[in-house]
Each structure stands twice: as structure tokens, then as C-alpha cells.
Structure 1
Amino acid sequence: MWTSESTGTDPKTGELTFTICCNHGQIKLPPINQPPALLDELLHSRWFRNTIRVYNSVLAFTSVGKKMDYGVVHAPGPYTIQIQGQTHHRIGSLIPQQGRLPEYLQLYIFDTSNEVRNRLNAMGQTSTEGNLDETTLTRLIEMIDENNCLAKFFRRARDYYESNGKEFTIRLLPDKGKGKEYDLPSTSEVACLIVGDMSSTIGERDIVVQFQSDTLQQIRDDHPLYMSLQYPLLFPYGEYGFHPDILLHLETSTSRTRQFLTLRQFYAAQIQTRLNQGMTLIKGGRLLHQFVVDVYTAIEEDRLRWARNNHDVLRAELYSNVLDAVGKGDTDAKIIGQRFILPPSFTGGPRYLVEKYHDAMAICRVYGNPNLFITMTENPNWREIKEHLEKYGGDSPNDRPDVECRVFKMKLDQLLKDFKNGTFFRPYTAALHRIEFQKGGLPHAHILLWLGNSSRTSSAEEIDEIITAKLPNKEEDPEAYNLVIKHMIHGPCGDANRKSPCMEKTVCTKKYPQPYNENTSIDKSGYVLYRRRRNDDASVVKDGAFLNNNFVVPHSIKLLKKYEAHINVEWCNRTSAVKYLFKYITKGVDRASAVIEKGYTATASDAVASSEPKDKVIKQQNEIQEFIDARYLSACESMWRTFAFHIHKRKPSVEKLIIHLEGEHNITVKETDNLGRVIRKPGIEKTMFIEWMVLEGQSLHER
């Protein structure tokens, strides 16, 4: 951990305490074992870490369903995985259907005399991420057989199948005894081998593997073997993972204190650098990218599961309507109300983003237009990242999206502290920022700052004092020159590079090269045209193209020297630009392009169960599924959210005051509630708006 990640000190020992690794000592997971010798040797090899996803796929017991964005995977720049929608782990039958080749779990049981060739055939001899080496694969199979308790169990199933030839079913149990530590299970604890029908004894989270079937069973993300079945190279011993019954270590607890570890806390604690433990996970290279994306989809699915399971239970209705219903003798909550689908408290959801946009506009109404629009992007070559990797012999910063996110968070916190203290320019009176993630996966922050005196038009001299858009003189300030050419040069694009990502047809979407200007000015739309003089001698060669001041991104030299990263600084001046900025920084996560229809004519099968005519049956809009289907997710974003870092912050705080007529405020009831008891709850008729009106009335009376 870094000192600046500390959230306080222990009152007894005086030592620093941390949240993301152990939640102030409340999380105590079993130590991670050192990997087998072969795997440890391979993890130190760059070529293996580049192809580890392929080797893991041919050794996995389960398949993973996801939509990969291969345009990002094969794009220039650092390697990243980006998926769309939800991921699912699925397990098939023990024996393949007649005429089909074995795959995944079946490769451990069926036709194992040709296992290596079957595994190569299952994935294809080559892959987009590298070729499979037959010798290496053979050694890995032997390593898994020797060390992985899941593999040992399925090999026992193979022996049973080959000796008896009878049909049987495997059941993977979700627990090995309440209260035990979930570390290395023994073979007998992992599963039961049962012959015959056992449908009456199947638990909700049991994994039941049929003998021969053409259907796949989806595995719940809270099964302790969820990750071990999918990632045998990250969990080579078949370790138990998260389980809902893992207790927190609490000194004192009450009935209101949460007793058990959450899914997010478990994985945040697991993905850490601990030099005295096995580091198989953090040395996983490209497989770690896949794992952390998988982790966060499981975390978010766990949160969405609550909304999905309770959307028929929670209802909202006007207080006056509930009174009317009770007056008529209707006390059943099922007859009233609208269902909540995805509430505004769900981070990243559509209602959440709308609320944040309204908060931003509320700040604008009080403080006027913001002065500065700043974008800060992660620099994977920051000294802190490289020093961390050197601690355990790590290789590329891109191998550790978790470390990249943690360092960016520290840098961003320090940057905002500098803005508050007036280190680079006047201290801000209000600030707002939003975290987003590039197509290449790295995090960046959009920041709006109000510096005061925004009611008047700023002068060119004030803007030039903060922002520059030219190459520094190489002789006078070599440090600034090197930083600008490294971090603040756009392109090359246009005629010099038609294939640049910013190009759309024949035009740069960022409007580069920018025109030369003798002096800074502001156009009619409120956008600033920065000083870029043609006669400056400075130039730079980038990717074979000569670039001058018209390719320099506006920046602050002071900021650049301290943070050594891409920090774009723009001046805001007119209302016409403000609304665009607010919408841009609160637009939400990257999403797929989709057309959402309000309703559709149902099929004949839909109409059978309805009393409505066929042409009037309308399918209800499922906001939860729409959110999942439209979402794009990368490794860095997954780690940011797994560590529970904020994606949106503002200062000062904004309190939402809902305006309503008397008795027409919303209240929330459960489907099982008795409405008579609901309206008798103390304070049910009060709202923030009513109490505010009462307070205002008292103030007026006193005056």
C-alpha cells in the first residue's frame, strides 16, 4: 500500500489503516499458496503471459459467455480486454453428444488417451493471441492433474466411467461446512458422486453436471468454485473462493452491523500485492485482465439481482392515494403503486446519471459558468507504478490494471487538493469531476472548476496566464519541451496519417490541426481560440511527421511538470458551451449503440396468456436488462469499481428538494404491507419540502 491510500490510524497501535485491502482489519482471507514450480517458471516468461488466456481456455472446466470488443483488443497501444453486456460461466455434460468433439470439462473425462490433441482441436491449433505449444500444454495438464483437486475429482469420474460404463451425475456442493475458512478443499469436500435421480435434494446453488446433455447449466456467481472452474491457471489448486457465509472480523457487533463479507470486499482484498504470499493472480498478465472484468460483472450482477428480485415487491404511490385506498377499505398493497425497476441509487444507472446532471446544473445556477474544463489521463509510466512492479519483478504496467487505478486515484486526489489550495491558480469556489475510461482502458477524469468572478468576460491575458498551446523553447526550458512532446501533442492525423483514431472520413474529429492565432480570442460560440503563432521556431517529429504549434493540445506547464501526464486545460466562457460540458462529463459509461422501442406487437404465444387482443399486448420495458446489454466494460474500469472508488464527485454538495402539493408526495411500500399500518407510521406524512416550508414560515414570523 501507499501511505496516501491510508484512511486513518489505529487508535491502539497508531499504525496506518487501509480500506481497499482489508477494510481496517475486518477482512482476513487465507493466505494464497505459492504456485506449482512449473507455473511459477512460466509466469516469469513474457511470451507465456501473452498467451496465457489461450492455455487457460483449453484447461478450463467451464465455458465463459461474453461479447468481446475485438476492435479494442487488436487496436494499437497497450493490451486491454473490453466486453459488452454480461458474462456467464456455463458447464456442460460429462460426455459429449454423439458425433461431437469433447470440450472444457469433457476433456478431463472422455477420450483422455488423445487428450492433448483433443484440447488443441477444441481451441484451434492457433489463436489470435499466439500459438499453443504442445509440450507446454502437456506439462500444464500434468501439473493440473497433480495439484488441482477439481481435476483429481473429474479424473475419478473418468475412471468410474471407463470401468463401469453406467450413467451417473456429478454434484458440486456450494459449501464445505458453515464457519470454515474457504481455502484448499479436499476432494471429498468438493463434490459428491451420485448415481441416479437426485432432483429432490438439489440446492439452489448446487452445480449438477448431467451425464450426457446438449444444454449448458449456468453457474451462480456466489458459488465458491465459480472462479476456480474457469481459471485453473490462476487457482491451480482448485481453491474455494467467495461464499456468502464468510464472516467479517468485528471487535463489537450489533444486530444492525453487517456480519458477512460482500462479494466486492472479497475480490478487492484478494487482488493485492503481498510479497509473503503466492502471486499467481497478479502475475497473470492478460488473463488477469479477463479475470478482473469477470469479477466486476459478478459484483454488479449481485447488485442487480436484488433489484431484479424485488422489483415486484417494492412499490411507490402518492400518500393521498394510499389514504383514499384505506378510506375505501382497501388495505392490500398489491392493488396500488408503480414498480421500481432500476433506482437512482444504483451507480451508473440512467436515473443516477440524470440526477448527477441536475446536480451539475444546480451548481451552475448558483456559481455561474465554470472557468476551467480539465481532462487528466493516466500515465502508465508513472514512477510509483514502476517502483511497485519492481518490488516483485513485474514486467509491464499494463499487466496490473489494479495498480494503474490506485495510482491514478492518488494522483487525482492530490490534483484536486492542489486546486483547492490554489497551487496553480486561484482556489476554486466549486468543483465537479467525473471518471471515465478510454477505449484503450486507461482511466481519465473530466474536471470542471469555478474560480469565482464568472459573471464577467475573462481577458486574453488571464487565459494566457494559465493556458498555453505552443511548444516551449527547447533551449530555455528543455524539461517543459520534453513533457509537451511526450504528453500534449495530438496526432499526427490528417494528411500525415489518415488512419489515426481521431479521423472520420477525411476530417479530424478533434479539429486538428488548429489554426494559427497571433493572440488569444473568444469566438461567438464562447470557445477560446488560443495563441498559436506561426513564426515560432519550435517543431517536433512524431511518427515521421513534422508537427508545429497547431498540433499542441492546450495545457498548463506547471501542471505538466508536477504530474507528468496528459492534462488538457480548456477555458470555459459562455453558457452555450456549459450545457455540452455537463452532458459530456455525465453521459455515463461507454455503451453500445441500440434502438429502444417503447412497445411492440406481441407474438401469438405472448397473447395466449393475456386477455388483451393480440395487437394490444405491449411488452414491458426491462431497464435492468437494457442496462446490462448496452454496457461496455474494460479491465481498469472493473478494478476502479471493485475498489469502490467514486466515479462522480462535486463540491459543494447538492441536496435534492422534491416539490409537491400537500399530500401528494411519494411513499414506498412493500407488496406485503398492510396500508392501514403504513399510514399510521410516525412521520409518514412529512417530507423535506414540507419541513423546509415550516422552517421558512417560522423564520418569516420571527422577522
Structure 2
Amino acid sequence: MLIHLLSKNRYSIFFRSLRDVKANEKRTIILRTHFELDQRLYNTPTSSQIAGILLEQTSDPPTKGPPIVIYSSSGQSYKIQHYYGCYDPLQYPLLFPYGGKKHKIKNKKKTVSCIEYYCYKLQIRLAKNSILLKSGRLLQQFVVDMYIKIETGKLDFYRKEQKKIRADLYQGVVDSVALGERNASKIGKRIILPAGFIGNPRDLRKRYLDAMSLGQRYGKPDIFLTITCNPAWSEIVSELGINEIVQNRPDLTCRIFRAKLIELKDLIIKKKFFGPVAAFAYVVEFQKRDLSHAHFLIILKESSKITFAESYDEYVAAEIPDAKKHSLLFDLVLKHMMHGPYGEKNPKNVCMSKKGYCKSRYPKSYCEYTIQAEDSYPIYRRRNNQIQVKVRKSMLDNRWVVPYNPYLLCRFDCHLNVEVCSSICSVKYLYKYIYKGHDKIAFNLVDTEKPELFVDEIKQFQTGRWISPPEAMWRIYAFILNEMQPSVTTLQVHLPHKHAITFQESQDLQKILSFDFY
């Protein structure tokens, strides 16, 4: 049936010719998960998912996307670049059984961007079933591949448009001219990516500094909140078709999580759940657990500041609730807010450090009253009331409860961690934490047929950016990744002749200095 279906595909002849071509060398990707790597970024994947690794280079932008190489029976090869129109039907013949067809454009524009096209293709339409959204695990690979294509196209644009632009301090140009150098290509450094490219180190550093300025203006954050997507939300499960699983529908999880995120934001900001808000910042992240999550930092107005340890219990709880009085809350705490078991009960868990203890310092100590701590978080009330519950085949007590807000937990039915920021020492750490950047992985390619006996990890392991299906779908839909209010305007302050200037590498340095840069 498939052969008959693909007989109408104009590209099928290329696939049939592959039977006469020997297979390329088989290679295996080895992931490096050593403890010395920053586990916030280089943590081990904990779910079975299809992900992409985008190579990163320090001196130049990432290389162009890999082409599809097609061989004919005569031995000739053809390269199909990622931006060719036939790339998709060649890479995914079952998703484009007829080789693809032209779409009529109903708006005034004669062309659409790559991201607009895939955003259109990945929409849910009741009147027409989508082959893409019904393709199961193949949808994960498709969305990751297409987002890498989109980002690679942006990087290619910056490479072509800015490869001849250089930057240096004004004083550096003056010094170079004084030494007799007039060739602009000999000084300064190349501009690789501007700060406007979301997610690059310049962008993250700028957002971190802007967020720190909020703390300088409005004081330390009062609430640190983390919300994680729950794949068992009724809004997601009700939209699944026959034999569909949540993991294969990143479009659904992204849409529903975004809706929950907007609801939570409105509850905190507009409805003043914690009190009037002076400033806030949040960042959406995608870890290797196949679940999207967001971090909120909330600064309350002076009249609503949480200043006394006695008032912390009004916002945060860290105990197992009474199963008879609060049955719903009891079930949700057991389902979402129990950390573990780790340590002696599960020494191989991903939360364990090299030295054999939990990186999140669980189990906590018993405490009769909430007290102010010297570090980033207070010591919450965890009474030794002999209540134990069975979670993941182990008996756990109050020492294993992740701090939560009872109302928010019942309303959103997901892992929703709420912490009170009790010390000014936590400010820098918290802001750095939420702006730490993309998830990364250290990897190496090894020949499967001739495995290496010894792998030089220092020389052969490369660093790559880990792109999961939820992140790819989120970015294709162009949903907001971070937000900060009030906005911050950066004012450039510098010493005389120490401001940065940009120039073309073909320019004469003497002419550059003749312009008035002020």
C-alpha cells in the first residue's frame, strides 16, 4: 500500500535508488554526564524523547544545517540544503506522500516566512485532520528538525549580513591609527550575534542586568515560584485521539501550559494574590524531562512585604496535609510535591551528586516553627507528627515535602513550588538561575562498528545545545519566552573615548575617526 501511495510522489525515485547504495558508517552518540559539568544545564535526559543537538562554536556562528545527500545508481550525489523546497518531502516522505503541493496564499503577501509556514501547518483544525499532528513520535522529530531549520536560517542571515562588521573601542581605533595601521580588518573583533537574538549570551546577560536593576530599584524579590506542566491535565487528555499519548503531542502541551501560565500571571499581577506587585520577571524553560516549566520572581510593594517569619506560613506550607480534612490537597501533595525518594532509598536517582547526597538537600530537618534563615530560603515548619505516606514504593514524611501554596496547588493541579525569599544574599543567585540559558549536552560521535577503546573526553567531546520538541513547538508558535515589568531602558555610560563603535572591515580607519560619534 505504501509503495502504491508513493508511486505518485515525484521524489520516490531517489529513495528506490538507495537500495543499490551501501549504507554509510553507523555512528552512536555518547552523552557525557559527569558531575563536574554544570548540572543546571548539562543534566541527564530523564525521559524518552526525540531531541536535536545544535553545535555551538565560540569563534563563529554555528555551521550551516546539514544537507540531505542523495545518491543515484550511477554513483552521483546530490545535496539538498535545508532551505530547499523539496527538503521536507525528501526527509519525511510519509508526511508528504504526494511530494508536497503548493498552497494558495489568501493574504496580500506573496510570500510567508519559514516560521509562519510551519506555524500554519501545525494548527489544530476541526474540519480537517492533520497528518502532521497524527504522526505520533515522528511529529517530535519533525518539529525539532523544522525549528533547527528556522534558527539556522536566522544564523545564516547574521553570518552573511554581519561577517564584515567589526567592533572596537574608540580609543583602540585612535591607538591603531597612531601606530600607522589604517586597515579596519586588522583590529577589533567580529560581531557574531546581536543582543536582539533571543537566547544568545548577550541577550541573557542584558536581561540579567536589567533584572538586577529591578532589585536595586524595588528591593529584593519576595516570592520565587516555579510552575511545571502537568501532562495529565484534563484539558490535554480530553484532546487526545485514539491511541495517542501526551508525549507525541507537544503542540497540545505547549498551548495548555501557555494558557495556565497566563492564568497564573493574571492571578498574581492583576488579582494581587500575594498582594500588590511592584515588579516581576519570569522565564519559560525546557529541560530534558520533557516538561515545560516557568520561574517567577515577584517583588511586592512596600505595604505587602513579607518581613516576619511568623507570616511565612500564610503563603507557604511544607507539610503533608490531613487526609480526612483536606482530601484533595492531600492527594495533590502526594502526587506533585514529594521530593524523592533519594539517598539511601534510591542512590541511583538523577538528583544524587557525586558525593552521595541529594543536590536539593533532601530530606530536610524537622522544625516546629518557621524561622528566618541566613541563606536564600527560610527553614519552613516541618513538624514530626509521625505522618508517613507511601510514595514510589517508599515511606516518606514531612521532611520530603517541597514547599507549596495550598490554594495554587489545588487550582493548577501540577508541581508548583513556592518559596519566600528571606535574605538579600539570594538576589544574585535567583536572577542568575532564571537567566542561566539553554539546556546543553556534552556528546561525542563513536563508530558503532569499530568502537574506540579509549575516548579522550577533553579533545573529542563537543558542547551542543539540546532542543526538545516542547521548546521547538513553543518557538515555532512564537510564544513569549520571558517577560519583565516594569521595562528597563539601558543607558550607556563610559569614560571619554571608551565607547564601542562598529565599522566595516573595508573602511579606512582615518576616515572612521573623522566622524563625530557623539
TM-score computed with the length of structure 1 as normaliser: 0.60
User: Match for residue 379 of structure 2?
Assistant: 529
Choose from 68, 72, 85 the match for 1:94.
72
Question: Distance in 2 between the 1:67 and 1:465 partners?
Answer: 52
Choose from 166, 173, 178 the match for 1:315.
166
User: Match for residue 400 of structure 2?
Assistant: 551
Would the alpha carbon gap of residues 38 and 534 (structure 1) be closer, same or farther in structure 2, given more than 3 Å must change?
farther
User: Match for residue 84 of structure 2?
Assistant: 223
SS in 2 for 1:669: strand
State how 1:113-132 maps to structure 2 within 5 Å: none
Is residue 333–residue 675 contact of structure 1 (8 Å, CA) maintained in 2?
yes
Shift in Å at residue 452 of structure 1? 2.9
SS in 1 for 2:414: coil
Question: Distance in 2 between the 1:673 and 1:635 partners?
Answer: 45
Is residue 199–residue 437 contact of structure 2 (8 Å, CA) maintained in 1?
yes
User: Match for residue 590 of structure 1?
Assistant: 439
State how 1:363-512 maps to structure 2 within 5 Å: 363-390=214-241, 393=242, 395-453=244-302, 458-505=307-354, 506-512=356-362
| 1:212 is the counterpart of 2:75 | yes
Question: Distance in 2 between the 1:672 and 1:655 partners?
Answer: 33
SS in 1 for 2:221: coil
Unaligned runs of 5+ residues in structure 2 are: 6-17, 34-43, 56-64, 444-460
Larger helix fraction of residues: 1
Shift in Å at residue 76 of structure 1? 9.5
| 1:249 is the counterpart of 2:227 | no
User: Which AA in structure 2 matches 1:274?
Assistant: R
Would the alpha carbon gap of residues 632 and 526 (structure 1) be closer, same or farther in structure 2, given more than 3 Å must change?
closer
Choose from 34, 51, 55 the match for 1:82.
51
Is residue 368–residue 382 contact of structure 2 (8 Å, CA) maintained in 1?
yes
Shift in Å at residue 648 of structure 1? 2.1
Would the alpha carbon gap of residues 644 and 485 (structure 1) be closer, same or farther in structure 2, given more than 3 Å must change?
same
- Cα-to-partner distance string for 1:473-520 (whole Å, 9 max, x where unaligned): 111111111111111111122222223221235322211111111011
Would the alpha carbon gap of residues 394 and 356 (structure 1) be closer, same or farther in structure 2, given more than 3 Å must change?
farther
- Cα-to-partner distance string for 1:190-223 (whole Å, 9 max, x where unaligned): xxxxxxxxxxxxxxxxxxxxx316xx75532110
User: Match for residue 232 of structure 1?
Assistant: 93
Question: Distance in 1 between the 2:31 and 2:463 partners?
Answer: 17
- Cα-to-partner distance string for 1:297-355 (whole Å, 9 max, x where unaligned): 11111111122223432223456777999999999865665320222222111111111
**Structure 1 vs Structure 2: percent identity of aligned residues?**
36
Would the alpha carbon gap of residues 295 and 529 (structure 1) be closer, same or farther in structure 2, given more than 3 Å must change?
same
Question: Distance in 2 between the 1:543 and 1:263 partners?
Answer: 45
Choose from 649, 656, 660 the match for 2:483.
649
Shift in Å at residue 466 of structure 1? 0.2
User: Match for residue 668 of structure 1?
Assistant: 502
User: Which AA in structure 1 matches 2:375?
Assistant: S
Would the alpha carbon gap of residues 275 and 336 (structure 1) be closer, same or farther in structure 2, given more than 3 Å must change?
same
Shift in Å at residue 534 of structure 1? 0.6
- Cα-to-partner distance string for 1:507-566 (whole Å, 9 max, x where unaligned): 2221111111101112232431110111153x3212221111111110001111111111
Would the alpha carbon gap of residues 221 and 248 (structure 1) be closer, same or farther in structure 2, given more than 3 Å must change?
farther
| 1:561 is the counterpart of 2:422 | no
Shift in Å at residue 630 of structure 1? 2.4
Question: Distance in 1 between the 2:178 and 2:46 partners?
Answer: 67
Is residue 68–residue 80 contact of structure 2 (8 Å, CA) maintained in 1?
yes
Q: CA RMSD in A?
A: 3.8
Question: Distance in 2 between the 1:445 and 1:453 partners?
Answer: 25
User: Which AA in structure 1 matches 2:494?
Assistant: H
Is residue 516–residue 534 contact of structure 1 (8 Å, CA) maintained in 2?
yes
Shift in Å at residue 663 of structure 1? 5.4
User: Which AA in structure 1 matches 2:285?
Assistant: E
Question: Distance in 2 between the 1:449 and 1:580 partners?
Answer: 15
Question: Distance in 1 between the 2:332 and 2:32 partners?
Answer: 30
Question: Distance in 2 between the 1:563 and 1:64 partners?
Answer: 49
- Bigger drift between 283-292 and 492-501 goes to 492-501
User: Match for residue 274 of structure 1?
Assistant: 125
Q: Which structure is richer in relative contact order (CA contacts within 8 A, separation 6 or more)?
A: 2
Query: What is the number of residues matched between the two proteins?
Result: 468
Question: Distance in 2 between the 1:567 and 1:556 partners?
Answer: 8
User: Which AA in structure 1 matches 2:108?
Assistant: L
Question: Distance in 2 between the 1:221 and 1:64 partners?
Answer: 22
Would the alpha carbon gap of residues 527 and 318 (structure 1) be closer, same or farther in structure 2, given more than 3 Å must change?
closer
Is residue 470–residue 552 contact of structure 1 (8 Å, CA) maintained in 2?
yes
Question: Distance in 2 between the 1:499 and 1:241 partners?
Answer: 52
User: Match for residue 108 of structure 1?
Assistant: none
SS in 2 for 1:352: helix
Is residue 69–residue 82 contact of structure 1 (8 Å, CA) maintained in 2?
no
SS in 1 for 2:440: coil
User: Match for residue 516 of structure 1?
Assistant: 366
User: Match for residue 284 of structure 1?
Assistant: 135
Is residue 78–residue 398 contact of structure 1 (8 Å, CA) maintained in 2?
no
Question: Distance in 2 between the 1:293 and 1:516 partners?
Answer: 45
Is residue 312–residue 339 contact of structure 1 (8 Å, CA) maintained in 2?
yes
- Cα-to-partner distance string for 1:57-105 (whole Å, 9 max, x where unaligned): x99x999999867799xx997531223225634214213xxxxxxxxxx
Is residue 163–residue 190 contact of structure 2 (8 Å, CA) maintained in 1?
yes
Is residue 285–residue 399 contact of structure 1 (8 Å, CA) maintained in 2?
yes
- Cα-to-partner distance string for 1:434-488 (whole Å, 9 max, x where unaligned): 1111222211011111113399872122210000001111111111111111111
Would the alpha carbon gap of residues 67 and 531 (structure 1) be closer, same or farther in structure 2, given more than 3 Å must change?
farther
Shift in Å at residue 237 of structure 1? 1.6
TM-score computed with the length of structure 2 as normaliser: 0.79
Is residue 237–residue 246 contact of structure 2 (8 Å, CA) maintained in 1?
yes
Question: Distance in 1 between the 2:108 and 2:507 partners?
Answer: 34
User: Which AA in structure 1 matches 2:359?
Assistant: T
Is residue 64–residue 88 contact of structure 1 (8 Å, CA) maintained in 2?
no
- Bigger drift between 632-641 and 325-334 goes to 325-334
Would the alpha carbon gap of residues 685 and 496 (structure 1) be closer, same or farther in structure 2, given more than 3 Å must change?
same
SS in 1 for 2:225: strand
Choose from 192, 196, 200 the match for 1:349.
200
- Bigger drift between 429-438 and 302-311 goes to 302-311
Greater Rg over alpha carbons, structure = 1
Question: Distance in 1 between the 2:432 and 2:412 partners?
Answer: 27
Would the alpha carbon gap of residues 232 and 65 (structure 1) be closer, same or farther in structure 2, given more than 3 Å must change?
farther
Would the alpha carbon gap of residues 325 and 498 (structure 1) be closer, same or farther in structure 2, given more than 3 Å must change?
closer
Unaligned runs of 5+ residues in structure 1 are: 1-34, 40-57, 96-210, 252-258, 595-625, 687-703
User: Which AA in structure 2 matches 1:221?
Assistant: H
